[in-house]
Amino acid sequence: MSIILLHGSVETSTEKQYLEGLKNAAMKGYEYLFETNDRLLAVERAVNELEDNPLYNAGYGSVLNRDGRVENDGSIMDGVTGRFAAVASMRDIRYAISVAKKVMENTKHVFLAGDGATIFAREQGFKDDNCVTKEQLSSWQIARMLSLQGKELEFSAYTGLKKETDTVGCVLLDDEGHLAAGSSTGGSFFKQPGRVGDTPFIGGGIYASKNCAVVCTGRGEAFIQTLTAKFIDDQISAGGTPKEVGEEAIYRLHHLTGETGGVIILNRYGHYAAVHNCSSFPAAISIDGRTQDLEVHKVN
């Protein structure tokens, strides 16, 4: 049995076009898994679909930082080998997860950041890309005006201002029972340049082992401080179910930090869960190449 589970970030719409985008990404991932039996490639291609879709905060359509620039983070992890790689604060390159995968395959490093990540991506054949959409630019212009007026706290009151969103992510189980995870993000809206969230932090926002694959989304600093992804893996490895552990992890996150967020979890037996404590959390799943209805659990 093969399973591909994706999310489009907490506080992102669950309207039809958002869910369809996630379903299409799940099917794209399955196509590559079926054709190549390469779990990491399948995760990469599924996330690439979301990086190409301006509805999500990753790749093209990413939020802008305080200076009006896109800085992307991405990561990928193999549950079989434990290999992990990530990039952070990378500018002018759309496919952060793909660059992270190249770091894993073609270097001795684990993490590249800033200009170094961008230079490496160009060396690997990635082309410079303007990831700024008209919608995100308009949101940034409003935010900048409010910031200059000392009214940062009023950002959310403007209906024309795109909501701050976070990661897109994917967890995968192949027919051999092997797990993998990948994630990509433009980070938090109007962030300080150089700010990095949980997406590229192993154990914070992403983790994969022989027992579990998990990706987190929400206020990245909270997931890093609480090592939520590793906490989930530990609890799954101790015998917990994805739904129970997901609910415990979100409760723990809120108890320790006061923050909200969401997680997608998949274990080696094919059990899965999408859990959050926000207003929305779009997610989609493909099982053996067929998309199915997915119950998303909300923790009150």
- What is the distance in angstroms between the CA of the first residue and the CA of the last residue of the chain? 32
Q: In angstroms, rounded to a whole number, what is the distance separating the alpha carbons of residues 245 and 159?
A: 36
CA distances to 41, 67, 85, 235 from 108, rounded to whole Å, are 19, 32, 10, 31
- pTM value is 0.96
Active site residue: 165, 167, 199, 291, which one?
A: 167
Residues sharing a CB contact under 8 Å with residue 95, sequence separation 6 or more, in sequence order: 48, 51, 59, 74, 126, 184
Rounded average pLDDT over 100-118:
98
| pLDDT more than 70, % of the chain | 96
Q: In angstroms, rounded to a whole number, what is the distance separating the alpha carbons of residues 249 and 52?
A: 30
Confidence grade of residue 257 (pLDDT, cut at 50, 70, 90):
very high
Q: In angstroms, rounded to a whole number, what is the distance separating the alpha carbons of residues 124 and 3?
A: 30
Question: Is 90 exceeded by the pLDDT of residue 293?
Answer: no
Q: Which helix (H) or strand (E) holds 21?
A: helix 16-36
Annotation marks residue 167 as catalytic: yes
Could you list the beta-strand ranges (E) of 62-211: 72-78, 84-90, 111-113, 168-173, 179-185, 206-208
| pLDDT per position as a tens digit, 145-189 | 988 988 876 776 665 666 556 799 999 999 999 999 999 999 999
Give me the number of domains the chain comprises. 1
Helices (H), 124-241: 134-148, 220-226, 228-237
Residue ranges making up the domain that contains 78: 3-298
Residue 77: which CATH number?
A: 3.60.20.30
Mean pLDDT taken over the chain = 95
- Among the residue ranges 9-18, 118-127, 153-162, 168-177, the one predicted with the least confidence is 153-162
Of 50 and 158, the one with more pLDDT = 50
